[in-house]
Amino acid sequence: MDGMSGKLYDIAGLRQQIGVFADRRDAGRILAAMLQDWKGVPAVVLGIPSGGIPVAVEVAGALNLPLDAAVVSKILLPWNTESGFGAVGFDGTVWINEEVVSYYDLDDAAIHRQTEEALAKVQRRVRLFRDDRPWPDLQQQTVILVDDGIAAGSTLRVAVQAVRNIGGRQIVVAVPTAHLESLAPILEKVDALYCANIREGPQFAVAAAYRHWDDVDEVEAVRMLGLFLENSHEKGGEQ
């Protein structure tokens, strides 16, 4: 594992490689091995639903850390179900990519409509993934934010800001794969960033890092998180 720019850590042998992870859980185990310095320290893992949850389950389990969900959503372009022009966070944080807005000449009405749709989605998913669980005291522990990869980076950027807004002081981001250019704006806002597989070039897809890739639906992600929380509660009761 190499350190780059003082707080960016990757695996040199995985740079520019594709198909390096069997699936998300395999990626989580590789990330957990990179994060061994955080084992046993006061920390909490926050997975970004839905795809980040299976990765985060492996990280939290291997490091023996508590796990919860940090819900964020892209603000989608009106004609696209994948590409966005910003993101919203679980605390109501909104970030708009003005370059994308300008490029597509989006008017205020479209921006407002799409942002409201994203906020409604986040509110629904917060109820689904977190219910009424109180947030832990994030000022007293490190927050490890986990997702399944970074393409443009808008959702991670908003997740970091939202965690800051609810008291997070030390934030570590951990992702299996990312485009190098997307890491710079996130690095400015976190204490450390771990990414096993960093790639460059005009063509990039998070899915290309995985030999098996499919969408993780909400029901499955909620089930994974609930099972982890249930097992953690049972272990705590045995101690």
Three-state SS at 199: strand
Residues 6+ apart with CB under 8 A from 199: 15, 16, 17, 18, 177, 178, 179, 180, 209
Give pTM, 2 decimals. Answer: 0.94
Three-state SS at 221: helix
Q: Are 194 and 5 in contact (CB under 8 A)?
A: no
Q: How far are the Cα atoms of 47, 58, 69, 74, 146 from residue 159, in angstroms, in the given order?
A: 10, 20, 10, 11, 10
Q: How far apart, in Å, do the first and last CA atoms of the chain sit?
A: 35
pLDDT tens track, the chain, 239 positions: 455 568 999 999 999 999 999 999 999 999 999 999 999 899 999 999 999 999 999 999 999 999 999 999 999 999 988 889 999 999 999 999 999 999 999 999 999 999 999 999 999 999 999 988 888 888 889 999 999 999 999 999 999 999 999 999 899 999 999 999 999 999 999 999 999 999 999 999 999 999 999 999 999 999 999 999 999 866 654 44
CATH code, 2-71+137-238:
3.40.50.2020
User: Which residues is 157 bridged to in the sheet?
Assistant: none
Q: Are 6 and 190 in contact (CB under 8 A)?
A: no
CA distance 235 to 232: 5
212: burial class by Cβ within 10 Å (0-12, 13-18, 19+)?
exposed
Q: Are 71 and 81 in contact (CB under 8 A)?
A: no
